[in-house]
Amino acid sequence: MRSSRTTALAMAGVLSLGLLAACSTDDEPSGEESDGKVTITVAGLQPGAETEAVDALNARVAEFEEANPDIDVEPEEYNWLASTFSAQLAGGTLPNVFEIPLTDAKTLIENGQLADISAEFDSLSFADDFNENLLESGTGSDGKVYAIPAKSIYGVALHYNRNLFEQAGLDPDQPPTTWDEVREYAKTIHDATGVAGYATMALDNAGGWQLAAAANSRGGVIQEQDGDEYVATLDDPAVKDHLQWLHDLRFTDNSILPRTDLGWGEINEAFAGGQLAMYTSGSDVYNALVENNGMTEDWGYGLTAIPSSNGGGALTGGTLAAVTQESTDAQKDAAVKWIDFWYLSKMLDQDQAVADAQLRNENGQAVGTPVLPIFSEEQYATSLEWVKDYVNVPLDNMKGYTDVMFTQPSIGEISASTQDTYALLFPIVQAVLTDQNADIDALLETANTQGQALLDQ
């Protein structure tokens, strides 16, 4: 459900920006009101967020505005989609503060599409405390900061339905640890319950993303770097192995959900609706399952590590917060204050951590979902200790992941033509789910040639 206040705020943001743009002068830049207040629009929740999530956001906005009476914050519904982002950027419809995937930051920086927020970032008292590798992802070749690590720093993991495990006679406390076991479990569940034992994203770039994650877990890569040159390796044996694995689940075992219209949001919805037993996605997905799909702590959710072999590991990614180039200096300053308040302070300040956790808990939102630390592992553990009284996620059901989250190898997403490369892979995922005679070798050979052409541009 969508809160009327959120809808009104979004509309007000569009109207106010339009009016300010129409009447602004050199003396009164857009976003700065005559009474000295600064208005910023910020990425809020995804479309269709639960009412409780909207209420929690609105309460935090009110708290921020009370502490910063010279700033008005207008949340807007926001959802990153590679297929629409460029149009939003070109059309000037992005909020002042918006979210981007970690892997796309370098391209956006190189294209001059993000505001330089170095001065504002340096004013943060904890600017020197970030995980250096994460901070580097939002830093340009000029050494300036253009995006700040914000949330959802995840490792791809395996999500599963504990109730379906039990119905099929499987121990939900002993989830599969190899891809062969995932296949065995999937068939057992389907044969016993009639419910698909497994599903995979296959819609648009999400399908390519998850194929890459599976290949990485099997010890493969879809791109290599040689100095300043990039080499496409979409035909890596690990990619072939996983495509054959998906094909066999579909046409040999009949244990996979045979849908090719599952993106990130669609597969979450199908999982929450009991249509499948297992799938892979970021380790932080439980937050979205609660906020967007109404999942509760007693639903029967389970989380475990993605199977890894041959030196493979968990593909990692995350979300950075950025500011539009059109933002004024005053808006940039306000924007970084909001980024600090909304995303970061709860990781570093006990009072903020407790206030945020208490509010989220009271509004039925997830507190304590496992994520990889933006700062240090020690600080992450400390922040969890601060909010332990408000943790409401089924951590005992997530031990298969939390027991190894800091020791399983982490693999970064490819850094060149990331989304375009994923776009070459998802049609092959769709092919192996719909065509029993799909020629995997030929499909990958063609995709690899196209991928190399992208890298050579």
What are the pLDDT tens digits along the chain (457 aa)? Answer: 223 323 333 333 333 333 333 333 344 345 666 568 999 999 987 777 778 888 888 999 999 999 999 999 999 989 887 678 888 888 889 999 999 988 788 888 988 999 999 999 999 999 999 988 789 889 998 999 999 999 878 999 999 999 999 999 999 999 999 999 999 999 999 999 999 999 999 999 999 999 999 999 999 999 998 888 999 999 999 999 999 999 999 999 999 999 999 999 999 999 999 999 999 999 999 999 998 999 998 999 999 999 999 999 999 988 999 999 999 999 999 999 999 999 999 899 999 999 999 989 998 899 999 998 899 889 999 999 999 999 999 999 999 999 999 999 999 888 788 889 999 999 999 999 999 999 999 999 999 999 999 999 8
Instruction: Return the H-helix or E-strand segment holding 415.
Output: none
Rg (CA), the chain: 22
Half-sphere exposure of 213 (CA within 13 A, CB side): 27
Place of tokens 């002042």: 96
Rounded to two decimals, what is the model's pTM? 0.81
CATH level 2 (architecture), domain 157-316+410-456: 3-Layer(aba) Sandwich (3.40)
Question: Could you tell me which CATH class the domain 4-153+318-362 is placed in?
Answer: alpha beta
Buried b vs exposed e over 191-203: b needs ≥16 C-beta within 10 Å?
eebebbbbbbbbb
Q: Which amino acid is present at 427?
A: P
3-class secondary-structure state, position 410: strand
The string of DSSP letters for 265-280 reads HHHHHHHHTTSBSEEE
- Please give the distance of CA 152 from its chain centroid, rounded to a whole number: 6
* Alpha-carbon torsion angle 407, 408, 413, 414, nearest 10: 100
Cα four-point dihedral sign 220, 226, 228, 229: negative
Q: Do domains 4-153+318-362 and 157-316+410-456 have the same CATH topology?
A: yes
Hey, where are the domains in the chain?
Answer: 4-153+318-362, 157-316+410-456
What is d(CA 120, CA 336) in angstroms, rounded to the nearest whole number?
Answer: 6
